[in-house]
Amino acid sequence: MTTAVLVRRFLTDYARQPVNLILLVVVPVIFVALAASTIADFATLAGGPENPNLLSAPTAGWAAAFLAGVAGFFLVLGSRDADHRLAQAGIGPTRIAAARLGSGLILALLAAAGALVALVARTDVTDPIRAVSGTLMFAAIYLAIGAGIGAIVDNEINGSLIVLFVWMLDVFLGPAMAGGEVLITRLFPSHFVTLVMLDSASGHSAPFGDLGWALVWAIGGLTFAGWLFHSATRGAARRRRRTPRGFARFTAGFRFGFREYRRNPAMWVLLVALPAFFITLSFYITPDMPTPVRVKEGGQSLIQAVSMVDVHGAIMVPITVAFLAGLAGLFVVQSSLEADGRLAVAGFRSREILGARLAVIGLAALLTTVVSLLVTAVDFSPRQWGWFAIANVMVAATYGMLGVITGSVFGRVGGLYVMFLVPFVDVGIAQNVMFSSQPPAWGRFLPSHGAVRLMVDGAYTSSLDQAGAIVLALVWLIALAGTAGAIFHRISAPETV
């Protein structure tokens, strides 16, 4: 069996869920179309390149990077047992590793192509060579990261969250988004690729130059991932999966659901360490320069000059909790699909199953929010701590419910694609007051608009002037919670013959 035949079969297996292939192209198109102009506008504020269109180019790379990383991870992890059998049947690990990485490259090219088409349609790409080559290097680097993680991490939740962890640090604290020049950011995977796309010399790339280091990351990463996958296919033994037993109504359902989280070290690391590291670093690397923020105080709308350090640090809280709470909701519903059906057959009521699962999601979201607020308190003190905290809890709860809905509709891989797109475009772009003093018109129709406006009010004013924002946030939360409840009811309904 040739490598080309293996590639075709691997891609055919991946395409058995057509929604994954559709989202692989659609997600970057939507992402770039909505994010490119906002990022370009930010260029004049952050002191970016003379041509602001250059600053929008990395958005194509960001989209291609995340999708290629997730595709690479699941392409490797989902086929581990089958690849072991192929290796034992006489097809060498080298051929299998080459076929898997080749399949991943094709998927990465699809994601990159969709992102580049959207970039060309949305902005004036003045340097297409940089845009195309940079996007392809982004995709190659993250394909390597995803495949490498898939080769050494057993659990799909752990691995996909590690991919997200790396991507969030790389994008939100990289040279295009955060600006500034801090030593630790030079270690991020896309640091030099981003600088190449921006046509911005780093001054610290000797002896290879920025392009040379970008190629080292791309080619070296793929080589290392291939070696890891080769080793895992050749020598790894099959792992057994534990099947939980025994439940007793709501408290037992919550206890066992919580136990699954407790046994998941990557989830706990992300719930605690990611906010701590992510938010602290955002304060540290952001240049201290004034930026305009539109606030409402005393019934009047006004522009207030705020240090970009305080703006970036504050907005990192809802961005962080939106991503993590959304993924918590997605994985709770995905990991409990079969168990919830069995619980219903055993006599559990839908509301008991729903309560147990939502309690687990709520605990994870609340923990992330509390850690984020505690870390923020070290470097920034909101004018109204109570409303600032309530607003972030609302963001976490809203995205926890959205994660439940997304996981049930799109599955694990498709759900990850969607949960990458929605919080980034919503909280990271549309509601991000660091980019614009007020959100774009289309941003007012997104889930976190009301909660983030309340957060801004609590952060930078001394009185509550966003009662309408509270109502809007509650409407979104109630609507999404009702939808999530209906989904849980359908999942937990015993099948009738």
Query: Tokens standing for 419?
Result: 């949960």
Q: What's the CA gap between 98 and 108, in Å, rounded?
A: 15
* Beta-bridge partner residues of 491: none
Nearest to 352 by CA among 260, 475, 256, 259: 256
- Non-local CB neighbours of 54 within 8 Å, separated by 6+ positions: 43, 48, 126, 127, 130, 197, 198, 199
Q: What is the pLDDT along the chain (497 residues), one digit of tens a residue?
A: 566 666 666 666 666 666 777 777 788 888 888 877 676 666 555 555 555 556 778 888 988 898 888 888 887 776 666 666 666 666 667 777 777 778 888 888 888 888 888 888 877 787 889 899 999 999 999 988 988 888 777 777 778 778 888 888 888 777 777 655 667 778 889 889 988 888 887 777 777 788 999 999 999 988 887 777 677 666 544 444 443 333 344 465 555 555 555 556 666 666 777 788 888 888 887 778 888 888 888 778 888 888 888 888 889 899 989 988 898 888 777 766 555 555 555 566 666 666 777 777 788 788 889 999 998 998 889 999 999 999 999 999 999 999 988 888 888 778 888 888 899 889 988 898 887 777 788 889 999 999 999 999 999 998 888 889 999 999 999 999 999 888 767 766 555 44
Question: What are the Cα distances from residue 440, in Å, to 31, 269, 305, 308, 443?
Answer: 15, 34, 19, 19, 5
Nearest to 487 by CA among 340, 275, 384, 379: 340
Question: What are the Cα distances from residue 476, in Å, to 15, 222, 417, 459, 479?
Answer: 34, 42, 22, 22, 5
Question: DSSP character for 428?
Answer: I
* Beta-bridge partner residues of 295: 302
Residue with tokens 């752990």: 158
**Longest C-alpha distance within the chain, in Å?**
76
Residue with tokens 């280091």: 213
pTM for the complete prediction?
0.79
Judge whether 440 and 452 are in contact, CB under 8 Å.
no
Neighbours of 125 (CB within 10 A): 20
